[in-house]
A and B are shown apart, each in its own frame.
Chain A
């Protein structure tokens, strides 16, 4: 059994230089992903998630640091690294000249995999594409094209699978189909690295999570530890009234929905008293556990505030 981590980033940095100056997309990012992990990589737009994945895939060259896949350096030993890596790109791209089956056979060939029809048929069936096998890529809907992207990444049975926002803009059925199949692959020993903006997916699927902001690693822990170590209770309610200033500064407001962090029961009582005192009419009040979105926002806002006050 390999003693290497499935994925290792060591002090990876990426600086883009142009006429408008330089932009640091990644700033000394280091972490490991163990074989068999389901790992989440989260961050707001522009955090550096896709750049980090591009470094791993060899699409982008790091300015500094190294990245390895199962112990193989992605630059100096790229053949072995890429054989072990399956990437589902974020953009919905396809080759309009070929059918689904042709596309998958060709992609298998690039990895030196011959006579791969049995696995191709299995992947097609798992992703609900069997009846589209001989359809031209141009004839497929967006959701179907997204499924083919996933199939292309899996066609050479890579031990490490990278999913870069695979469910962006796709329907519930595809999400469920995709997660069922990826969870199966993970149970069979495949390592999964997932980036997503759907934090409930990350919370449900990922055993560990890293959070990036402005190219820096801001958090790295087990999902359960991230949830337990931060605000543990949230007060949620709906209102049409303006919140008192003391509450407005710490509340997360989405339309009529208001969410406020509470440390304990006494804190909840204080918050409710403040609302009563301000005459705020509250509907659908509930007290619940903080979810990953709360943790994510707390970390990101905390870092933003640090950056502002620094």
Chain B
């Protein structure tokens, strides 16, 4: 058996888990993002500051897509783990020879898939409102995959740590949500006061969204290479933490 034996069936199971309830896990976040576009696009178009030469609504769409990617990647691994822990069916995984590598690859892989499916759905329904260009598409793929991988890993950590649904909700509402909203989804960080610009540059979510947006417009607040370095480093740190927790059986094996 290799260290990845069993990863493929677990990955498939995790993908099927969200796909079987796609109305809730895919359609609902797509609708939410569309409502954001309609409301924020209508209210702030012409007043909010975007990238030079880019209309606000066009600027907003990649931010909404990436926000959906990140939030749904986090939701996938975290909700699956906490549900399995609370209902007790995690025992079916714990008694198997699955390595911590297999757990990680399967849970984070499925999170990336859900993030990309929802992000693709948001792009598909919003692109009809405003024409978008794809100036440097490789950045779109790179940052979407890396961001989803990082949030999938964070979801894994949160799912392992949380013992109750409200603990997971606290993680989501007090860490993930603020970091996402304060990352430049709805605005360019250049429109912020200097102190908040500095604060934004300490938030790795800012680099994910800025790098992702670069792929559409060929322009960004920060260098895409700097964004890649920050997001890549953050992903490695979070992934290693998740792997360590899995290897030690943190809150899994008493």
Residues of A within 8 A of B (CB): 16, 54, 57-61, 78-80, 82-83, 85, 87, 89, 91, 93-98, 102, 105-112, 152
The chain A residue with its CB closest to the CB of B5 is: A112
- Which of A16, A60, A106 is B9 in contact with, Cβ under 8 Å? A106
Instruction: Verify A79–B9 contact, CB threshold 8 A.
Output: no
Enumerate chain B residues within 8 angstroms of A79, measured Cβ to Cβ.
1, 97, 99
The chain A residue with its CB closest to the CB of B21 is: A97
Q: How far is the CA of A85 from the CA of B21 in the complex (A)?
A: 33
Instruction: Verify B254–A82 contact, CB threshold 8 A.
Output: no
List 18 A–B pairs whose Cβ atoms lie within 8 Å, in order of A's numbering.
Answer: A16-B254, A59-B91, A59-B253, A60-B254, A79-B97, A82-B95, A83-B97, A89-B91, A93-B89, A95-B87, A95-B92, A105-B9, A106-B10, A107-B96, A109-B6, A110-B96, A110-B97, A111-B97
Shortest A182–chain B CB gap in Å is: 18
Instruction: Verify A59–B94 contact, CB threshold 8 A.
Output: yes
B16, CB-defined interface residue at 8 Å: yes
Instruction: Verify B20–A97 contact, CB threshold 8 A.
Output: yes
Provided the pairs A98-B16, A111-B97, A112-B5 are in contact, do residues A61 and B254 lie with their beta carbons within 8 angstroms? yes
- Which of A59, A94, A109 is B95 in contact with, Cβ under 8 Å? A59
Provided the pairs A61-B253, A110-B93 are in contact, do residues A93 and B17 lie with their beta carbons within 8 angstroms? no
Shortest A13–chain B CB gap in Å is: 14
Instruction: Verify A109–B92 contact, CB threshold 8 A.
Output: no
Q: How far is the CA of A105 from the CA of B249 in the complex (A)?
A: 25
Provided the pairs A79-B1, A87-B95, A93-B91 are in contact, do residues A112 and B20 lie with their beta carbons within 8 angstroms? no
Provided the pairs A106-B13, A109-B9, A112-B5 are in contact, do residues A152 and B253 lie with their beta carbons within 8 angstroms? no
Q: How far is the CA of A16 from the CA of B254 in the complex (A)?
A: 9
Instruction: Verify B6–A152 contact, CB threshold 8 A.
Output: no
- Which of B9, B21, B87 is A110 in contact with, Cβ under 8 Å? B9
Instruction: Verify A152–B92 contact, CB threshold 8 A.
Output: yes
The chain B residue with its CB closest to the CB of A95 is: B89
Q: How far is the CA of A59 from the CA of B253 in the complex (A)?
A: 5
Enumerate chain B residues within 8 angstroms of A98, measured Cβ to Cβ.
13, 16
Interface residues of B in 1-31 (CB under 8 A from A): 1, 5-6, 8-10, 12-13, 16-17, 20-21
Interface size class of B (residues with CB under 8 A): 20 to 34
Instruction: Verify A82–B96 contact, CB threshold 8 A.
Output: yes
B88, CB-defined interface residue at 8 Å: yes
Instruction: Verify B89–A60 contact, CB threshold 8 A.
Output: no
- Which 5 A-B residue pairings sit nearest by Cβ, starting from the closest? A109-B9, A93-B88, A110-B96, A79-B97, A82-B97
Q: How far is the CA of A226 from the CA of B9 in the complex (A)?
A: 46
- Which of B8, B84, B99 is A109 in contact with, Cβ under 8 Å? B8
Q: How far is the CA of A108 from the CA of B9 in the complex (A)?
A: 9
Provided the pairs A60-B254, A61-B253 are in contact, do residues A111 and B6 lie with their beta carbons within 8 angstroms? yes
Enumerate chain A residues within 8 angstroms of B1, measured Cβ to Cβ.
79, 83, 112
Provided the pairs A98-B16, A109-B6 are in contact, do residues A58 and B91 lie with their beta carbons within 8 angstroms? no
Instruction: Verify B97–A94 contact, CB threshold 8 A.
Output: no
Q: How far is the CA of A152 from the CA of B94 in the complex (A)?
A: 13
Instruction: Verify B10–A57 contact, CB threshold 8 A.
Output: no
Enumerate chain B residues within 8 angstroms of A60, measured Cβ to Cβ.
253-254
Instruction: Verify B99–A58 contact, CB threshold 8 A.
Output: no
Instruction: Verify B96–A111 contact, CB threshold 8 A.
Output: yes
The chain A residue with its CB closest to the CB of B6 is: A110
B98, CB-defined interface residue at 8 Å: yes
- Which of B21, B98, B249 is A61 in contact with, Cβ under 8 Å? B249
Q: How far is the CA of A108 from the CA of B148 in the complex (A)?
A: 29
The chain A residue with its CB closest to the CB of B8 is: A109
The chain B residue with its CB closest to the CB of A54 is: B254
Interface residues of B in 66-102 (CB under 8 A from A): 84, 87-89, 91-99
Q: How far is the CA of A79 from the CA of B1 in the complex (A)?
A: 8
Q: How far is the CA of A61 from the CA of B253 in the complex (A)?
A: 7
The chain B residue with its CB closest to the CB of A112 is: B5
Enumerate chain B residues within 8 angstroms of A85, measured Cβ to Cβ.
95
Q: How far is the CA of A105 from the CA of B13 in the complex (A)?
A: 10
Instruction: With A61-B249, A95-B89, A110-B97 given, name 9 new contacts (CB 8 A).
Output: A58-B94, A58-B95, A82-B95, A93-B92, A94-B89, A97-B21, A106-B12, A109-B6, A152-B92
Q: How far is the CA of A60 from the CA of B249 in the complex (A)?
A: 10
